[in-house]
Structure 1
Amino acid sequence: MTQPAPAPRADLPRGPLLGFAAGSLGMGVWVTVPGLLLLYFLTDVLAVAPWLAGLALLAPKVVDVLVHPWVGHRSDAESARRGDRRRLLLAGCALPAAFAALFAVPGGLTGVGAAAWVAAWFVAGNLLFAAYQVPYLATPADLRIGYHERTRLMAFRMVVLTAGILASGLLAPLLTGGDAATRGGYQRMGLLLGGGALAAMLVGVAGIGRLRRAAGTTAQRHAPGGWRALAAALRDGQFRWLVAAYLAMSTTTHLVLAGVPYYAEYELGRPALTTVLVAAFVAPALLVTPGWLAVARRAGKQRALLVAQGAFAAGSLVLAVGAPAGLPVLVAAVTVLGVAFAGMQLLPFAMMPDVVRAAGTTGAGTYTGVWTATEATGAALGPYAYAVCLTAGGFVASTGGQVIDQPDAAGAAIRYGFGLLPAALMLAAVLLQRRYTLDGAARAAG
């Protein structure tokens, strides 16, 4: 007689939760610093033209789109064969070395040569990030936990990820030299933040093991071949709408991060305000994530996400006004974006395991691979879209220390690219998210 499956656990211990979440502290460095500083590093320190700088950041993501689903399938095969995804996680712990190399551009390289160096190491870093991120984010779908506990698990991850984003986002500009950033400063920043990321990622690997032992895992069998598994994921209509909405959200948030240094320097006239705007964008998540968790419990994850998307669009429109609105108003608008950003980091990541469980598939890694490929695509499209705005406005690239009088059109491009374009992209995310209809059934299933 077949024994009934154990009931999903609804009260995971805090220790394993924090151990799992620690991995996101290290991942936050890679998620934040290249998005925040790499475009500016290329155009204003390495004298790379904006169109080429944008291309250098976009092209490596083509590799991600192809590699992430494959990494996901390998992760599923590994889980079925060995009972865990540990080996890929450990391979991904080499990511901090690629992060350090990304900013260690040799002294004689500028222009095309510098763009090639950055693009090559960006490819290497993205591959290693996939090796860590995909099995890491497949973990919630592996565990015997229910609808609300998956949200709680991702809330712990979100708070720790936010701490990583905030710490790296505030420290990185300071370590580069602030207003007087140099190549040497960028190299120092890469080494110091890379070392911290490595320690956190290793703690995360150990934490995942503890979490799997505490919660138990669903039965695993060998997943189908890579292309078959990918096709199955893409045929899932609920997954397609969720992924499409997340692509718009990821593109928007990474566009805003890429635009922060330009907005601070050229619109507000104070490069040091970069850290203030980053703090206003990221820090609210440390306070409001429990609030988003409560809203999701009461109204459902999808309704809470639609509220977050609408708030982000509204705040972006205020930023399009620019300096005449006054610094307090602009910082408040960025804070609104930060509150919304917290919801957009928590809720979609909690919804994705719901889709996997509803599909009844053992291919959590493949689903996650498609998801992370989407995130990586948005991380490239955001800075590229902002680079296109800069190019359209005639923005002039420079080396560190040069003072350039930018044309008026460049100022308009910096302002509207930071405000109007994010609002439009977030409206697209709202329209796509409304096509997702699984949340009610997933909530009822528990």
Structure 2
Amino acid sequence: MIAPVVNAPTVSRGVRLGYGVGSFCTATFAAVPGLLLLYYMTNFMAVPAWLAGAIVAAPKVWDLVINPLVGRWSDRTRSRMGPRRPWLLAGAVTLPAAFVAVFAGPPLRGVPAALYIGLCFLVAATAYALFEVPYKAMPAEMTDDYHERTSLLQWRMVFIGAATAVSGILAPAIATGEGANGTLNSYRLMAATIAVIMLAAMLGSFFGTARAPMTGAPEPDGGRLWEQFRAVRKNTPFAWLLALSSTQMLAVSMMLAAAPYFASYTLGNPKATTTLFAVLVGPMLLTMPIWVALSKRFDKRGAMVLGALVYAGGTALAAATPIFGAVYAHLTLLLVGAGIAGVQLLQFSMLADVVAMDAAVTGKRRAGMFTGVWTAIESGVASFGALIFGVVLSIGGFIESEPSRPVEQPDGAITAVLIGQTALPAVVILLSVFMTLKYRLPKDVPWTDQASGTKPATH
């Protein structure tokens, strides 16, 4: 039975900060390999571009298995720490070492190097799932207020912006700190530094959410794995939200994979990766209150459409970089950063709405199953960004190399870099706008009536 309750628990500022700091891990692990791993393999380990793209994508197939399982396990976990926090700790003690191994730079080249990196990346992806899946399930269980979820996740987005700075500014700066394009030792130092940051973030989130409320507290879904998966799959708002989010992440991952090449071959300065991400991060941090206000003014769906259009517009405008130069490229990324801030904030807030709606209607706890399916499919789709960009490079005739034997790229490869950074992501992100128009929450759930201010409680 669902009854309206006006005075739902409010998440304290300490818990909001404690939860948000975990995004230093989630955003960093998602961004650093997407930004540097393809370039590291093609330009340091002499891996062909198509194979490097496949290696970046291949471990994500495993996510389709492990992420729903982790979600199911966390749904069924009973402990004094709650159902999610033990898994945060498990991820904290396993992910950093696996991440360092990915960039360890063993004396291998070509296919053997690709196989080594692929195996290490698979282990890292498993460790990441232990943290990420339960972590994403928590906001839906902390509050049952429609708009408080957005303000709660605003804190997460602030930390995502800071993590993006770490990923896009600090990581490339360390990786390219020796020589014109960096060395294996500089990449090893980068990996160790990022691993320490992720460890601190995961432990901070584990301890910071010790007093997080759990509203409603439904019982775990006792159904079989396939039955739970089918229930999640048949949730129409979740299906459309997952589709639009995956499309947006595909565009983001293509841009991440293309960024070092864009800096090196379009701007002519490998170190420009750092400044490109610096101008990307600023709007992500500064525009967050604006997106919260827009979500209240136009509802979350309307604000999502606006964010996607801003993002696509900035990306498309960057195609004129060869004409207008490096300063122009940096200015277009200001728009991209503002758009990414909006779509990511609203993705997470709308996911929490869908999960909370399911718990309110069914009385069952399966937030972990929802987020497990979400992270598996989203990360799997996102990983194809590097694969698609690798294929685009190969079509353009890109030549793999290593630092001791630099090569001059053909004109087709230079054109492929520009298209992969600008035109293709713009088209992909526009597809998400049409998917957003299909997303709707059922009107018969009490808290979807925003004017009433009521909130659900499950009995």
TM-score, reference length from structure 1: 0.94
Residue aligning to 1:297: 296
Change (3 A) 1:11 1:86: closer
> In 2, are the aligned partners of 1:292 and 1:343 still within 8 Å (CA)?
yes
C-alpha distance in 1, partners of 2:368/2:7?
Answer: 20
Structure 1 match to 2:449: 444
- Residue 339, structure 1, aligned to residue 342, structure 2: no
| Mapping of residues 184-223 of structure 1, within 5 Å | 184-212=185-213, 216-223=214-221
8 Å contact kept, 2:246–2:382: no
The equivalences for 1:113-128 within 5 A come to: 113-128=112-127
**Which deviates more from structure 2 when the two are superposed, residues 70-79 or residues 257-266?**
70-79
Contact 1:141 1:356 in 2 (8 A): yes
CA distance in 2 between partners of 1:242 and 1:294 (Å)? 21
C-alpha displacement of 1:8: 5.2
Structure 2 residue identity aligned to 1:96: P
Question: Runs of 5+ in structure 1 lacking a partner?
Answer: none
Q: Indicate the SS of the match to 2:434.
A: helix
Equivalent position of 1:153 in the other structure = 152
The answer (yes or no) to whether the contact 2:143–2:149 under 8 Å persists in 1 is no
What's the offset of the Cα at 1:285?
0.9
Name the stretch that deviates more: 318-327 or 142-151. 318-327
Residue 372 of structure 2 is aligned to residue 369 of structure 1: yes
Task: Give how far 1:409 is off.
Answer: 0.7
Distance, in Å, in 2 between the alignment partners of 1:357 and 1:52 is 41
Matches of residues 264-303 of structure 1 in structure 2 within 5 Å?
264-303=263-302
Provide Cα deviations, 1:392-442, integer angstroms capped at 9, x if missing partner: 101001112432111111111111111110111011111111111228776
Is the 1:252–1:378 Cα contact (8 Å) retained in structure 2? no
Q: Please state how far the C-alpha of 1:165 moved relative to its aligned partner.
A: 1.7
Aligned to 2:212, what secondary structure does the other structure show? helix
Counterparts of residues 9-24 of structure 1 (less than 5 Å): 9=8, 11-24=10-23
In structure 2, what is the equivalent of residue 105 of structure 1? 105
Distance in 1, matches of 2:287 and 2:78, equals: 35
Flag the 1:439–1:341 CA change in 2: closer, same or farther, 3 A. Answer: farther
1:9 aligned counterpart, secondary structure: coil
Distance 1:33 1:297 in 2: 33
Residues 9 and 143 in structure 2, CA contact (< 8 A), matched pair in contact too: no
Q: Which has the higher helix share?
A: 1
Distance 1:81 1:11 in 2: 21
User: Structure 1 residue 398 and structure 2 residue 388: aligned?
Assistant: no
State the secondary structure of the residue aligned to 1:134: helix
Matched, 1:356 2:355: yes
Give the direction of change, closer, same or farther, for the CA distance of 1:335–1:144 in structure 2 (3 Å limit): closer
Q: Does 1:426 align with 2:429?
A: yes
Per-residue CA deviation, residues 207-243 of structure 1 (Å, 9 max, x unaligned), is 222223xxx4322312122211111000111111110
Deviation at 1:180, TM superposition (A): 3.5
Counterpart code for 1:345:
Q
Matched, 1:435 2:438: yes
Aligned-pair Cα RMSD in Å: 2.0
1:280–1:443 distance in 2 versus 1, CA, 3 Å: farther
* Structure-to-structure mapping, 1:308-319, within 5 angstroms: 308-319=307-318
The change in CA–CA distance for 1:338 and 1:248 in structure 2 (over 3 A counts) is same
Residue deviations 1:31-71, cap 9 Å, x none? 21101100000111111100100010111110011211111
User: Pick from 378, 381, 388: which aligns with 1:378?
Assistant: 381
CA offsets 1:102-134 (integer angstroms, 9 cap, x no match): 10021x211111111111111111111111011
Instruction: Tell me the residue number matched to 1:69.
Output: 68
Report SS of the residue matched to 2:399.
coil
Unaligned runs of 5+ in 2: 454-459
2:456 is matched with: none
Is the Cα contact below 8 Å between 2:9 and 2:215 reproduced in 1?
Answer: no
CA separation of 1:137 and 1:230: change in aligned 2, threshold 3 A = same
Shift of 1:27: 2.4
Contact 1:50 1:391 in 2 (8 A): yes
| Residues 239-258 of structure 1: pairs in structure 2 closer than 5 A | 239-258=238-257
Q: Which amino acid aligns with 1:435?
A: K
In structure 2, how many angstroms separate the alpha carbons of the residues matched to 1:401 and 1:375?
37
Match of 2:233 in 1: 234
Moved over 6 A (4+): 2-5
SS, match of residue 12 in structure 1: coil
* CA distance 1:197–1:34, change in 2 (3 Å): same
Q: Structure 2 CA distance, aligned partners of 1:350 and 1:402?
A: 48
How big is each residue's C-alpha offset from its partner over 1:116-164, in whole Å with a ceiling of 9 and x where there is no partner? 1111111111111111011111011112330011111111011012111
What's the counterpart of residue 415 of structure 2? 412
Task: State the partner residue of 2:27.
Answer: 28
1:249-294 CA distances to partner (integer Å, 9 max, x unpaired)?
0110111111110001001111111111111222311111111111
Cα 1:193–1:331, aligned 2, differ >3 Å: closer, same or farther? same
The aligned residue for residue 143 of structure 1 is 142
Q: Could you tell me how far apart the structure 1 residues matched to 2:181 and 2:31 are?
A: 21
CA shift for structure 1 position 86: 2.0
Report how many residues are paired: 441
Mapped partners of 2:420, 2:334: distance in 1? 18
Distance 1:229 1:163, change over 3 A: same
Q: Is the 8 A contact 1:105 1:117 kept in 2?
A: no
Alpha-carbon deviations, 1:343-395, whole Å to 9, x = none?
11100100011112222342111011111112211331111111111011010
